[in-house]
Amino acid sequence: MARSAVKTRNRRERGIECLEFVIVMPVMLIILFGIMEYGWMLTKAAQLNNAARDGARVGAREGATAGDISAAVTSRLAEANINGATVNITPGAIPGDTVTVEVTVAYVGGLELTGYLPDYVLPEQLRSQVTMRKEGP
């Protein structure tokens, strides 16, 4: 092959490679941000679940009050840097009753990591509910 034909072919291949990069890169970035955002969302959901479980554990103890439960949940949420959560507590009065702790927080507009994904792709809120039986003597 002549030398000028090789140079022309290499230049064409470089142009095609650049065009392929321009077409594929935005799709790859959207996939990357999606993976990051969903990983972050799953982490925050696990932290929310841990806060509800800690509250239910405190509430299951004999003599625990709704204030004790709320303090345990609030403390765990503060450790996880989750603000603006709503905590609903259904305390059990006597041993054998159930103690239910429900924690809800807005995800879209509050906990998002990247903010690049459209709102309809992400859940509006994260919610966790844990129920345990009240302990007794």
Higher pLDDT, 13 or 47: 47
pLDDT interval class at 51 (50, 70, 90): very high
Query: Given this model, what pLDDT does residue 2 score?
Result: 56
- In this predicted structure, the answer to whether residue 57 has a pLDDT above a threshold of 90 is yes
- Alpha carbon 6 to chain centroid distance? 53
Lowest mean pLDDT among 5-14, 21-30, 42-51: 5-14
Instruction: Write the pLDDT tens digit of every residue in 106-132.
Output: 988 778 888 777 778 888 999 999 999
**Mean of pLDDT values over 53-58:** 95
Burial of 85 (0-12, 13-18, 19+ CB in 10 A): buried
Q: Which has the closest alpha carbon to 54: 37, 34, 78? A: 78
pLDDT at 3: 59
CA 128 to chain centroid, in Å, comes to: 12
Per residue in 7-23, pLDDT tens? 666 766 778 888 899 99
Does residue 92 carry a pLDDT above 90? no
Judge whether 72 and 54 are in contact, CB under 8 Å. yes
- Locate tokens 């679940």: which residue? 49
Q: What mean pLDDT value characterizes the chain?
A: 87
With beta carbons less than 8 A apart as the criterion, state whether 77 and 51 touch. yes
Tokens of 8: 């022309």
pLDDT for 5: 56
